[in-house]
């Protein structure tokens, strides 16, 4: 069956360990954390824990042998295959094993794919014999909540606007966010509060001094300023970092505008909308939102999603070129499209 990541801890703490877990998704840090938690709760010693990270085609006979080996002085055994790229030969052998897996072994497989393919025999076998788990990137709200919660565990109080700024700059990948949070905590020093200043200062030289700069520029449809901002942002970093962060910020900008327009229609006061959508230090937000139709916002959100999907699935595309073309399109009045 397919289960959600948050359900793993509950069944593991209850002592339930399935014959196989196949972990998918882009959230590599969350997948790694899940494996670490499983190892800790499993309490497997050196006799009952085997990890493989080499070529699965050459290792799969040993993997299968270890999976079928009875545990030593224990009632369970843990086998982890860390290489996310499993070739066809190894996939077929593992799928065959999962038709009748050992009841005393838990096999963990990792994948870099966003989700399982319905035609993938190994994924289907894992879903039938155990569980398939998809670790998708957190939404902005989920990431903000987790940052605030993790900061609290470290004895700090993180302001919502600071957490929002960090997410909009760094994206929703927890592997990146946790590192940025650690830097913000160190920058705050003895101060108990982590504010916007600490986040802005610790994000790095290539980040914008104003965390909402690009969001405001792209929602203003200011072509020249948006392209100038991006040109400065590319300096000293990999283009992919800037491109995907910018796509996320543009998507957040238009989604906020769309939600705000609908809330205004429903009769909510602007101040209440600002609090619900976490709009900080932006006096012209509602003015900009009034200039664009809901239809245009929906179209632009689709284009942002299409571009991100293309960049992740078509390796031959140039991220900078694709983003530049999209920004030109987004900043072009509807009548000229």
Any bridge partners for residue 133, and if so which?
Answer: 3, 23
Closest to 239 (Cα-Cα) out of 155, 152, 318, 166: 318
What are the tens digits of pLDDT across the range 285-334?
Answer: 888 898 899 999 999 999 999 998 899 888 899 999 999 999 999 998 76
In the CATH hierarchy, which fold is given to the domain comprising 137-210?
Answer: Helicase, Ruva Protein; domain 3 (1.10.8)
Q: Which of 23, 28, 20 is nearest to 5 (CA)?
A: 23
The number of residues making up the chain comes to 337
- Residue 280 above 70 pLDDT? no
Question: Per-residue pLDDT for 23 more than 50?
Answer: yes
> Left if phi > 0, otherwise alpha if psi is -120 to 50, otherwise beta: which for 85?
beta
335 pLDDT above the threshold of 60: no
**12 pLDDT exceeds 60?**
yes
* Long-range contacts from 321-325, C-beta under 8 angstroms, 24+ separation: 322/243, 323/230, 323/242, 323/243, 323/246, 323/247, 324/227, 324/230
CA 17 to each of CA 73, 118, 166: distance values in angstroms, whole numbers, following the listed order: 18, 24, 36
The fourth-level CATH superfamily of domain 2-134 is P-loop containing nucleotide triphosphate hydrolases (3.40.50.300)
Query: How many C-beta atoms lie closer than 10 Å to residue 131's C-beta?
Result: 18
Helix, strand, coil percentages for the chain (3-state, nearest 5): 60, 10, 35
Q: How far apart (Å, rounded) are the C-alpha atoms in residues 161 and 313?
A: 33
Beta bridge partners of 47: none
Q: What is the pLDDT of residue 188?
A: 81
CATH 1.10.8.60 maps onto the chain at 137-210
Q: What percent of the chain has pLDDT over 90?
A: 36
Radius of gyration of the chain (CA): 23
Instruction: Give the chain's mean pLDDT.
Output: 85
Q: Output the pLDDT for position 209.
A: 46
- Kindly report the number of other CB atoms within 10 A of residue 214's CB atom: 24
Structure tokens at 247: 């796509």
Residue 92 to residue 61: CA distance in whole angstroms = 12
Domain 212-337 has CATH 3.20.20.60: no
Exposure on the CB side of residue 79, measured as CA atoms within 13 A: 23
Is pLDDT of 109 > 90?
yes
A 10 A CB-CB count for 337 gives: 8
Instruction: Tell me how crowded residue 283 is: count the other CB atoms within 10 A of its CB.
Output: 7
Helix (H, G, I), strand (E, B) or coil at 41: helix
32: pLDDT strictly greater than 60: yes
**For position 203, what pLDDT does the model report?**
67
CB 310 within 8 A of CB 302: no
Q: What's residue 84's pLDDT?
A: 81
- Which residues are CB-neighbours of 40 under 8 A, at least 6 positions away? none
Q: What is the pLDDT of residues 49-76, one digit of tens each?
A: 998 888 888 888 999 999 999 988 888 9
pLDDT for 148-194, tens place per residue?
Answer: 999 999 899 998 888 888 887 777 777 678 778 888 888 888 888 98
Domain with CATH 1.20.272.10 in the chain: 212-337
pLDDT exceeding 70 applies to what percent of the chain? 94
Q: Give pLDDT, residue 161.
A: 86
Where are the CATH 3.40.50.300 domain residues in the chain? 2-134
For the stretch 225-236, pLDDT in tens is 999 989 888 887
The answer to whether the pTM exceeds 0.85 is: no
């Amino acid at each position: 069956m397919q289960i959600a990541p948050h359900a793993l801890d509950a069944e593991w703490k209850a002592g339930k360990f399935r014959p196989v877990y196949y972990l998918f998704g882009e959230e590599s840090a969350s997948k790694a954390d899940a494996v670490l938690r499983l190892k800790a709760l499993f309490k497997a010693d050196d006799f009952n824990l085997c990890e493989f990270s080499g070529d699965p085609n050459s290792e799969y006979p040993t993997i299968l042998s270890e999976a079928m080996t009875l545990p030593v002085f224990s009632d369970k055994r843990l086998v982890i295959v860390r290489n996310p790229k499993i070739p066809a030969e190894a996939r077929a052998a593992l799928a065959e094993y999962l038709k009748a897996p050992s009841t005393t072994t838990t096999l963990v497989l990792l994948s870099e794919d966003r989700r399982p393919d319905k035609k993938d025999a190994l994924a289907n076998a894992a879903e039938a014999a155990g569980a398939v788990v998809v670790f998708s990137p957190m939404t902005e709200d989920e990431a903000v909540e987790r940052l605030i919660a993790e900061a609290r565990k470290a004895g700090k109080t993180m302001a919502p606007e600071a957490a929002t700024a960090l997410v909009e700059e760094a994206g929703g990948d927890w592997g990146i966010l946790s590192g940025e949070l650690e830097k913000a905590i160190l920058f705050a020093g003895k101060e108990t509060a982590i504010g916007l200043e600490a986040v802005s200062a610790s994000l790095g030289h290539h980040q914008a001094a104003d965390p909402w700069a690009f969001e405001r520029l792209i929602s203003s449809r200011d072509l020249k300023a948006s392209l100038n901002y991006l040109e400065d942002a590319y300096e000293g970093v990999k283009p992919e970092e800037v491109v995907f962060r910018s796509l996320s910020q543009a998507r957040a900008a238009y989604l906020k505008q769309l939600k705000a327009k609908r809330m205004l229609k429903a009769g909510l006061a602007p101040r209440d909308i600002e609090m619900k959508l976490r709009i900080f230090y932006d006096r012209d937000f509602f003015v900009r939102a009034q200039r664009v139709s809901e239809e245009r916002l929906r179209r632009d959100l689709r284009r942002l999603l299409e571009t991100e999907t293309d960049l992740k699935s078509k390796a031959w595309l140039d991220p900078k070129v694709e983003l530049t073309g999209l920004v030109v399109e987004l900043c072009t009045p509807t009548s000229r499209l």
